[in-house]
Structure 1
Amino acid sequence: MAQAVPTFGSPWTALQPRLSQPILDAVLSLGFESMTPVQEGTIPAFMQNSDVVVEAATGSGKTLAFVIPVLELLMRSTTRLAHSEVGAVIISPTRELARQIFGVLEEIIKLGGLDYKPYLVIGGSSSATDTADELAQMKELGPDILVGTPGRLEDILCGRLKRGNKTKSGTITASGGIRGRPSASAQRLEVLVLDEADRLLDMGFEASLTAIFSALPRQRRTGLFSATMSEGLSQLMRAGLRNPVRVQVQVQVQGRHGAGDDGGISERRIPLTLSVKYLVCPPDRKLAQILRHIQSNSAQKYIVYFSTCAAVDYFYKLLRRLLCPTAEIVPGGKQALRSERQRLARLFRVDYSVSVHSLHGQMVQKKRQSTYSAFAALPSGEAGILLCTDVASRGLDIPDVDCIIQWDPPTDPKSFAHRCGRTARAGRSGSALVFLNPGSEETYIDFLALRKIPMAPGAYLWQTEDGSITHDAPEGAVVCETSDDSDDEEPGLGGGEDDGRPEGEEGGAEEPADKAAKKKKKRRGLAVARYPADARSNELIALVRDIAAGDRDIYERGKLAFVSFVQSYLKHEAMYIFRAKELPIIEAARGFGLLHLPSMPELRKRPKGKFERYDIDTDTIPFLDSKREGQRLARLAAAKTKTQQPDKDDDAKLKRKKKKNNTDAWSNAKDEREQVRERRLVRMKKRDAAAEAKEKQLMDQINDPSLRELLAKDPLLVKQMLNQRDKSLRDMVKIAADKRGRQQPAATTQTLEEIVEDARRRRAQVSSDSSDSSDPEDDWEAMARKEKIRERLAAKTKRKRFSFNPGFSDEEGDGAD
């Protein structure tokens, strides 16, 4: 029997050094009577002027572990901050997490009656005017504590970059450029906190963090907080912390199910109250399993994670039709709505309403915030689903989340624990389910076990004829083959209802040679386990395809979601587990409800014959929005007219294309090449003639007969001395001119003969040093020509005007968000 370590520790009054009375009253009024282990280990060290690095499981109370020391350190400061000075900075990787931290900080300040002004600075402003208004409001307030995302904090503490290196996406890099004046001063900053520090590095904020560090004083307290550690975080510790105290809070299991049979203790990176399960099933059954999971439980709050933003948008539109169809989103009037609800009743039936929400990094900030607030505000006992990417996987404390479902395992394996951590927080119970495709993905179970995340097999849910949910397969279930199945594979049942593994894979000391050969074929993606046919799941997919055939928005979003899913799968960090060749891509296409397979290189050499194309002309699928449908029809009509009657522009394009793809005789092409070569020779002769004239002009200026005779014997030396790298000959001319002008010897330490000998010696040394080099820079003639070209181009180049949109400073990268 496993024994759980207590979730809460000592009371707040036992802290040493003691908390100030206003902060203690505020914490107690929030209902926190005792500290969690991470708070008990972090707050004393942070308050005693030590840098801290904290690693603890999600939902363990890390926010209070740094908010309380920040306020305590500011209260103990002997001097009051000026209006434009900032005493503390808290950096978060995402806007939602920054808002959550700001809310906790503001609540404690309000309940404790503290005279401190926090301010939230995040990106996502819709226009430059909004950004300017926010900065003006911040300057007028004069905040003591800043909470925000790295990009916007960099603009405020370091000054906005007005000119700099521009990336392909149009943003300005932190290197180079001219900065404006900072909007706030951090010269007297007391404490810096980086929440979810490893995520800050993973999202590409290194340059912004470096710029922020350069604007902060070295004599400060710094805290790094995260549920997982990485190599990049270790580098950040060495760069920004001084002798930090490391606080590592581990969840341990003691007893027979621990590390060994001797009653040892094993470590977990997830709370004990969190139950994580996996389900191995073909990808075209995931949607049915989600609906059956909702139907088999009471009203709950779910979070479903996808790998791409396009998948979130698509399934948001689709689940709104499946879970809460209304006359506004179902075409055809009341009769069509009634018919669709009757079809849905056979596949999904609950006696409560289910609201659907979506959240990802490419949404407009206002919509993103309203979606998050609406889902978080759902009271306990109401059902709701939040479809999101990894942008909502870190730190967010959404109340009363009961279950986490992962449609796709995360591209970054570290995100798995963070996703599951949105439930079972602060001692509450919760569950999580991850879908795995049959084949190599089953290795993911052992991979997470090594990372101290144990998982148990989940039950495959079936639906009976009367619509009820059961764990038992219906009698007479027919075995169906997945698209990558080979004919010589031995039939077996999938492990959805038992352990998620195909039959015959219990293992043993020895295996027949034919089984080893079949396993090898399976590793190559030529064989996938067979699963019993699920007629109700197939019926659901047929309904989804009918919906897509009547709504062009859903049809196009489905194609985009499938393509983005495949691209994300190919970029998986654990690609030795998630192998593209073993992905049942045909079943995945059916799972997205596609009407036809898109043209993709990943679909080559796949058995496309097992995908049944929907019998419809896709050009006839309408948009439900009349305005968008009108625009689409107008484009189709214009394209059709253009095809039938090509205009003059089309004729010109065809001529250019014909000229580009020249199909003339070989002799004509040869003549053209000869003409190009002749023109090149003419240009070279002109350059050589100009160079000779310049040499002759300089030589005429030398009136010393002996020197002219010496140089005439070595014309190559003259050319070298005229090169930009050796100006000795020009110095000779100047000396000779000085002689003629003053009628007296010029003041020099070398004679002309010695200058010539030095030039020869340097030439010989360069020749010996670069005898084996093929670098074109060793050719002085080529060097001279390049220098002239650079000068000519520099004279012609005009300075380009640069415009900068200050509306979005912090780019969030969820790869795939």
Structure 2
Amino acid sequence: MAEAVPTFGKPWGSLQPSLSQAVLDAVASLGFEHMTPVQEATIPAFVQNSDVVVEAATGSGKTLAFIIPVLELLQRRKVKLAHSDVGAVIISPTRELAKQIFDVLDEVIRLTGFEYKPHLVVGGSSSATNTADEISQMKELGPDILVGTPGRLEDVLCGRLKHGKKTKSGTITASGGVRGRPSASASKLEVCVLDEADRLLDMGFEASLTAIFSALPKQRRTGLFSATMSEALSQLVRAGLRNPVRVQVQVRDKNGAGDERRVPSTLSIRYLVWPPDRKLAQILRFIQNNEPQKYIVYFSTCAAVDYFFKLLQRVISPRLTNFAGSKKALKEERERLKKYFDLDFPVSVHELHGQMVQKKRQATFSAFTAIPPGEAGILLCTDVASRGLDIPDVDCVIQWDPPTDPKSFAHRCGRTARAGRSGQALVFLNPGSEETYVDFLELRKIPMSPADYLWQNEDGGITTETPEGAQVSGRFSDDGDESNAVLSDASNSKDDGEDGEDKGESEQKKKKKRFSSLHIKYPDDERSDRLLDLMRDIIATDRSIYERGKLAFVSFVQAYSKHEATYIFRQKELPIIEVAKGFALLHLPSMPELRGRPTGRFVRYEIDTDTIPYVDNKRETQRLAKLEAAQKEKKEARQHKAAEQQSEEKKKKKKKPNNTNAWSEAKEAKERARERKLKRIKKRDAHATLEETRLLEKIDDPQLREVLAKDPLLAKRMMSKRDKSLQDIKLMAARQQAKASSKQSTQSTQSTQSLEEVIENAKKLRRSKRASSDGSSDSDSSNEDGWEAEARKEKIRAIMAKKTKRKRFSFNPGFSDEEAENEE
């Protein structure tokens, strides 16, 4: 058990200026004979109308260091406060801390006999009616001292904000809307105290604090109290305090070494570096290995607190209320659990986090605080219970994982070893890069020492000695496969000279670079693995625990990536598969952080998760109804989709030909189609031949018929009325003969050419031109084009020379009488 150690402060009566006798009597009634260093340095400066900034280790007595000056300053007022006036305001970051300060203040006021009326103002009301009732009660009481959280104090002192706007951080600004009337007046306020001031700023209360300060008079005393100092707090000091007195109380090692510490010297902090799937077994063995005492176990997320609270309830105190089965099945489960966790005394399990209803939060805090010394209890909580709370008789603080904000580490550990008592704290660290956290805290003047790993024998006994025959295996980060990551001595040894050694070293460096956690060997703990298997069996019988486990694991991984010390807590080096094992998950959830990770080391629990029931029959009935409706909807969707596919296939079958015939039948069909095509071609050719013969018979001119018989292509073009060149050539020859006779030229130079000669000359001329241009041989069609072009040119020249308009020529199968006469 933790024992108190003497404090070496001065007596309360030695303070200058001296305190009132009523305050001295009250302090003596509380059992405090001597002051702590922070009280001795703070109270005189605060009472003498000076602003103070106090930085002292947690558990050093800061609460009395500002409660006593508040009462002294109010007692020295010459004018009594009116019913609606407030003389002092004490601001706290959390409801639990505000309630604790209010209880201490109310007790001191009762012991002094002062007629001051304190009032607790905290949020958490679930309805506007409750809030209105609280405000009406406060107005009726007319309090002199208000203790509360920033948001509700802002509503009381500045008026409730209506239709307000929000800043980027989500806090409501005072200038964003219309405010109602204040419920109390702060115009005659004497003193304002901010407890855990750095936490007030970290939680995003800047806007509310600014609004509260704007409603307070400038001629007031202000005190900032905290165990740690931040840059934001320094800015607040420069902005809102006038020439403050800074009080910084340092803790020295009691062995006389003189080393400065940020935690009490009676606090022993130890760390344990082992794979994360051993944490649950270590906590249970730690509880089993000690006498009945009070523990606080810190987690980083609310979901993790909720999950392990449900799980430890089944492990530590299984009851029919949280068990789905008969008394016989419950008895069998207890017998199985006794193999791994057997106690001779009862242990109560409690949970506390920020997402709980205020009524339940207060009930949980009160129940855990009320546990008397000598009895065992466990409080699972987040950092909501890490600041300023004075929970009596807490002997040990266990941190499942280090806090996201490094400043919260000392506050967590400070829930034990308070007011001179001794205490111990334990923090779990993952192998790899997290060992650096020890050096990081040492620089912050928080010394730590390694802890012993606790083993469990087959008979259930706890020991620190490694069992004989324990196998050693390698543990790695999930950046690669375990089989590829083992660096055996044989693979690294080279006997071929210096070149071989250099090559082996380079390969080893590459592997070390790839696997950031390197090759870490730990003895296997079979009983820890069997305990996790038992946990999975329990989870498979309770859907409430199963669903909470998935949320807890996902929230933990997300919170891990938000650590402020990112160079220590690197998500890529987090052994996420071992973390999942430590959470006793039935299967790995679908999340982006698992992409690319080798999940082969995780063994999925063989169960259909849809069959996991709720312990609560009402919830199970609702779940089954929803599941049945969802399955029915899926079935209908599948049927509808299948019907659509069938209709589409039918449409495609109609469009496509039937290809189910045999190969021989298809070949015969092709042959028949080819024969039909040849018949059509022959029939068309025969018809064309008959048509040509018929047209040739209609030509009266024997000379033209003879020419066309020699040139079938020209005959075809003329008979299809696509060529008029022959008639043009004939007409041109007749004109040349007429011109020659009129001029009476010699027969040798202007001899009359027959039709065949004119055509032949035109063809020769065109052939010579084409041969000179491209050297290609002339086909019938190219010859035809050549003499046609020459004939047209000659025709155009004749027309331009004569400049006489002639009758347009149109082709007929025969020639008219007039044309025949001209030809003769």
State TM-score, norm by structure 2.
0.73
Which residue of 272, 276, 283 corresponds with 1:279? 272
1:107 and 1:519 mapped to 2: Cα distance? 66
- Aligned equivalent of 2:601, options 597, 610, 626: 610
Structure 1 residue 83 corresponds to structure 2 residue 74 = no
Q: 1:283·1:437 contact (CA, 8 Å) conserved in 2?
A: yes
Question: Structure 1: which amino acid aligns with 2:132?
Answer: A
Alignment deviations for residues 102-124 of structure 1 (CA, whole Å, 9 cap, x no partner): 00100010011101000000000
| Equivalent in the alignment of 2:127 | 127
Cα distance, 1:392 vs structure 2: 0.1
Cα drift, residue 164 of structure 1 = 1.3
1:587-640: CA deviation from partner (whole Å, max 9, x where unpaired): 000111111111111111211111000111100111111111111111111111
Partner secondary structure for residue 609 of structure 1? coil
Counterpart amino acid of residue 224 in structure 1: L
Q: Mapping of 1:302-701 within 5 angstroms?
A: 302-482=295-475, 484=477, 485=482, 487-490=484-487, 514=505, 518=509, 521=512, 525=516, 527-646=518-637
CA contact (8 A) 1:286 1:435 kept: yes
Are 2:189 and 1:198 aligned?
no
Provide the residue aligned with 2:149 in structure 1: 149
Q: How far is 1:226 from its partner? A: 0.2
TM-score with structure 1 setting the length: 0.74
Report the alpha carbon displacement of residue 17 of structure 1 after superposing the two structures with TM: 0.5
Q: CA deviation at 1:157?
A: 0.5
CA contact (8 A) 1:486 1:527 kept: no
The alpha carbon displacement at 1:35 in A equals: 0.3
Matched, 1:268 2:252: no
8 Å Cα contact 1:438/1:528 also seen in 2: no
Q: Deviations over 1:543-568 (max 9, x none)?
A: 11001111100110000000000000
Q: Per-residue deviation at 1:332?
A: 2.0
Shift of 1:350: 1.1
- Contact 1:102–1:120 at 8 Å: present in 2 too? yes
Distance, in Å, in 1 between the alignment partners of 2:406 and 2:131 is 36
Shift of 1:465: 0.9
| Residue pair 1:38, 1:62 contacting (<8 A) in 2 also | yes
Question: Conserved in 1, the CA contact under 8 Å of 2:288 and 2:341?
Answer: yes
1:157-236 paired onto structure 2 within 5 Å: 157-166=157-166, 172-236=172-236
SS of the counterpart of 1:530?
strand
Partner residue, 2:72: 72
CA separation of 1:128/1:460 partners in 2, compared to 1, >3 Å: closer, same or farther? same
Q: Distance in 2 between matches of 1:543 and 1:173?
A: 52
Structure 1 residues 615, 46: CA separation in 2 closer, same or farther (over 3 Å shift)?
A: same
1:531 match: secondary structure = strand
Q: Distance in 2 between matches of 1:602 and 1:357?
A: 31
* 1:526–1:78 distance in 2 versus 1, CA, 3 Å: closer
Q: Write the distance in 2 (CA, Å) between the matches of 1:75 and 1:491.
A: 77
The whole-number CA distance in structure 2 between the counterparts of 1:53 and 1:72 is 18
Distance 1:322 1:88, change over 3 A: same
| Rounded Cα–Cα distance in structure 2 between residues aligned with 1:170 and 1:642 | 40
DSSP-derived class of the 1:90 partner:
strand
The one-letter code of the counterpart of 1:66 is: F
Deviation at 1:331, TM superposition (A): 2.0
- In the alignment, the residues of structure 1 paired with residue 616 and residue 445 of structure 2 have an alpha-carbon distance, to the nearest angstrom, of 50
Q: Report what 2:34 is aligned to.
A: 34
Larger Rg: 2
The 8 Å contact of residues 118 and 146 in structure 1, kept in 2 or not, is answered as yes
Structure 1 letter corresponding to 2:407: K
Identity across matched positions, percent: 74
Structure 1's 29 and 254: CA in aligned 2 closer, same or farther, altered over 3 A? Answer: closer
Letter in structure 1 aligned against 2:224: L
3-state SS of paired residue (1:277): strand
Quick check: 1:439–1:522 contact (8 Å CA) kept in 2? Answer: no
Once the two structures are TM-superposed, the CA of residue 530 in structure 1 deviates from its matched residue by 2.0
Contact 2:485 2:515 in 1 (8 A): no
Name the CA shift for 1:143/1:529 in 2 (closer, same or farther; >3 Å): same
Aligned mates of 1:356, 1:320 — CA distance in 2? 7
- What are the residue-to-residue correspondences of 1:235-254 with 2, within 5 Å? 235-253=235-253
The one-letter code of the counterpart of 1:285 is R
State the Cα distance separating 1:371 from its structure 2 match. 0.2
Does the CA contact (< 8 Å) of 1:439 and 1:523 recur in 2? no
Counterpart Cα distance in 1 of 2:452 and 2:507: 29
Shift of 1:5: 11
Contact 1:273 / 1:427 at 8 angstroms: preserved in 2?
Answer: yes
2:315 aligned counterpart, secondary structure = helix
Q: CA deviation at 1:253?
A: 2.5
Q: Which moved more, 1:288-297 or 1:513-522?
A: 513-522
The equivalent of 1:291 in structure 2 is: 284
SS in 2 for 1:481: strand
Q: Is the 8 A contact 1:43 1:68 kept in 2?
A: yes
Greater mean alpha carbon deviation, residues 315-324 or residues 528-537: 528-537
User: CA 1:32/1:333 → structure 2, altered by over 3 Å: closer, same or farther?
Assistant: same
Which string of whole-angstrom CA distances, capped at 9 and with x for unpartnered residues, describes residues 278-330 of structure 1? 00011111000000000000001000000000000000000000000112222
Cα 1:354–1:491 change in 2 (3 A) is farther
AA aligned opposite 2:363: S
Say if 1:401 and 1:13 are closer, same or farther in 2 by CA, change over 3 A. Answer: same
Q: Distance in 1 between matches of 2:429 and 2:504?
A: 28
How do 1:765-804 residues align onto structure 2 when only pairs under 5 Å count?
none
Task: Identify if the C-alpha distance between structure 1 residues 519 and 242 changes in structure 2 by more than 3 Å, giving closer, same or farther.
Answer: farther
What is the alpha-carbon distance in structure 1 between the residues aligned to residue 201 and residue 255 of structure 2? 38
For residue 7 of structure 1, report the CA deviation from its aligned partner: 2.9
Given residue 296 of structure 1, which amino acid in structure 2 is its aligned partner? N
Match of 1:698 in 2: none
- Following the alignment from structure 2 to structure 1, what is the Cα–Cα distance between the partners of residues 167 and 617? 39
1:75 positional shift: 0.3
| Counterpart-to-counterpart distance in 1, 2:598 and 2:638 | 43
Deviation at 1:342, TM superposition (A): 1.1
- In structure 1, what is the Cα distance between the partners aligned to 2:391 and 2:521? 39
Shift of 1:101: 0.3
Distance 1:214 1:52 in 2: 20
Point out where structure 2 has 5 or more consecutive residues left out of the alignment: 490-501, 645-824
What's the counterpart of residue 785 of structure 1? none
RMSD: 2.3
The 1:491/1:88 distance shift into structure 2, 3 A limit, reads farther
Q: Is the 8 A contact 1:439 1:528 kept in 2?
A: no
Shift of 1:514: 3.5
Deviation at 1:527, TM superposition (A): 3.1
Q: Which has the higher contact order (CA 8 A, sep 6+)?
A: 1
Pair 25,526 (structure 1): closer, same or farther in 2 beyond 3 Å: closer
Q: Is the 8 A contact 1:316 1:357 kept in 2?
A: yes
**How many residues matched?**
623
Superposed CA deviations along residues 23-71 of structure 1, whole A, max 9, x for unmatched, are 1111100100110000000000000000000000000000000000000
In structure 1, give the amino acid aligned to 2:554: V
